[in-house]
Structure 1
């Protein structure tokens, strides 16, 4: 399955991973049932799942207002992505 994944254009062009690098591999790990590996690959995978759940509810259930939950989960996902990205950059510079 991993041989069919799209390459990161940011990494190919600039040599630096983007904040979303690892998403495809994390989804593959989730589908294989390897939840810890998915988290290690892309820590925002679970907050991203939460965001998509609220997004789906927002479109399906028109009786309730999911706008605040959707915004809060989007902010949470952004924060988790950025924190994980800066940790990855920091530890990659230390080890290199």
Structure 2
């Protein structure tokens, strides 16, 4: 796994810390462990599948769907990072 530069330099996790391990867990079929490692893994996958699919197929409200999926993904990343930092300092 690639080391996190933010964690090496500052000693704090970044909002993406755990994503590589989560993908590895997904590949090995450990779906719950992948979610526990990095909760945003599933919204990211849904967004990626939609983006890839929408390049080949045209959807009626593609822009709106993409924006909603992006906000859900970003929100999940932000909330899970805040909760992780809150648990770290308590």
After TM superposition, the score normalised by the length of structure 2 is 0.93
Give yes or no for the alignment of 1:79 onto 2:41. Answer: no
Tell me, what secondary structure is at the counterpart of 2:6?
helix
Which of 15, 19, 34 is residue 15 of structure 2 equivalent to? 19
Which of 53, 59, 71 is residue 64 of structure 1 equivalent to? 59
**Residues paired across the two proteins, number:** 89
Q: Residues of 2 paired with 1:60 and 1:54: CA distance?
A: 10
Which 10-residue stretch deviates more, 34-43 or 8-17? Answer: 8-17
How far off its partner does 1:9 sit?
1.0
How far off its partner does 1:14 sit?
1.1
Structure 1: which 5+ runs fail to align?
none
| Counterpart for residue 31 of structure 1 | 27
Once the two structures are superposed, residues 59-89 of structure 1 have per-residue CA deviations (whole angstroms, 9 ceiling, x without a partner) of 111x324221111101100000000000000
Structure 2: which 5+ runs fail to align?
none
| Counterpart for residue 37 of structure 2 | 41
Q: Residues of 1 paired with 2:71 and 2:14: CA distance?
A: 18
| Counterpart for residue 4 of structure 2 | 8
